[in-house]
Structure 1
Amino acid sequence: MVDGKRKRTPNRALLREIASILGSEEWIETISIFPSNRPDSIVISLRDEHYPEEYVSEAYIEVQSYVNGDFHITYVEDHFGEEWMCRWDRHESEEYSMHHFHSPPNATHDDGVNREHPPELPSVFSRVVVPWVYDRMGDIWTEYE
């Protein structure tokens, strides 16, 4: 255990595979694989033109995956210093089922709700996260206007 949490080994092969699959997506600006400030993650920066420039300064998705099957996928919008975020998780929790979602705008522990996810992380991404992000891109334009 590390800091009260069990130590998890990153699934670097799966994260590289996801980065490779997403590398040609037009809605993605860049994918950083294991950046120095997040060495157990891939960070997917989304194209600025999908967001009102006066409202969102940056949007990205951070993906963490572990060899035991646990994962965290965090979507973040930076509203010029104020973060708006949500998170899809698979891990043991005393308060939630193994699969759960932490709702926006803060994605705090108390914002969690039980959710079912597909069994494989690439499917979670393609069937849950990507459609949600596309909907969010539309919703944020509606909110802005």
Structure 2
Amino acid sequence: MTGPDRSRSVDEATLRYLARAFGRRTEVRRTSLFPTNKLESLVVTLDTEYYPPDIEGVSVEIRAYTNGDFHVSYHETRPVDRRQCRWDRHDQPHNARDHFHPIPDANTAAAVDRSYATDLTRVVERTVLPWIDERVGALWESATD
């Protein structure tokens, strides 16, 4: 066979590894691997104590597939709205295989091409977690303005 396998089997090993890694982080309140409402996902609930008071909930949902595709979504809940962004690797017509849908609503029209590390764990480590750290800082800065 030439080229990557395009089947969409859930990469359970990677999701289990990420669940253990997130479970060791102090800013994580809970991890839920393959919850009944998101059978292909790892859902990570972050501790809102790290966020300004107007942030009611923060979660990261990760889906990984054995063909290398993934979706990592960040969700931020406030009293009046919900904000989200998403890091993706999958074939589709709107962007390159690696792309990012920015906050506030992860709109497809606003997606930008990206180039991610081959391994999803490195994408989380080098791209997603630093983005979340910067987001927390930006939220605190805007809360004090």
TM-score, normalised to structure 2, is 0.91
Other-structure match for 1:32: 32
Residue type at the aligned position of 1:80: P
CA distance in 2, matches of 1:52, 1:16: 30
Identity between Structure 1 and Structure 2 (%): 35
Partners of 1:111 and 1:64 lie apart in 2 by: 21
Superposition deviation, residue 70 in structure 1:
0.3
Q: Give 1:1-145 correspondences, 5 Å limit.
A: 8-53=8-53, 55-145=54-144
For structure 2, the residue ranges without an aligned partner over 5 or more in a row are 1-5
Deviation at 1:110, TM superposition (A): 1.1
Give the letter for the 1:58 counterpart: G
Q: In 2, distance between residues paired with 1:93 and 1:109?
A: 11
2:116 and 2:60 map into 1 onto residues whose CA distance is 17
Taking the aligned partners of 1:88 and 1:113, their CA distance within structure 2 comes to 10
Residues 37 and 81 of structure 1: is their aligned pair in 2 closer, same or farther, counting only changes over 3 Å?
A: farther
Tell me the equivalent position of 2:3.
none
Q: Which amino acid aligns with 1:31?
A: T
Q: After TM superposition, give the deviation of residue 81 of structure 1 in Å.
A: 4.8
Q: RMSD of aligned C-alpha atoms?
A: 1.3
8 Å CA contact 2:85–2:101 kept in 1: the answer is yes
Shift of 1:89: 0.2
| Runs of 4+ residues over 4 Å off in structure 1 | none
- Tell me, which stretches of 5 or more residues in structure 1 are unaligned? 1-5
SS of corresponding position for 1:64: strand
Q: Name the amino acid aligned to 2:107.
A: T
Q: What residue identity is the alignment partner of 1:127?
A: R
Number of residue pairs matched by the alignment: 139
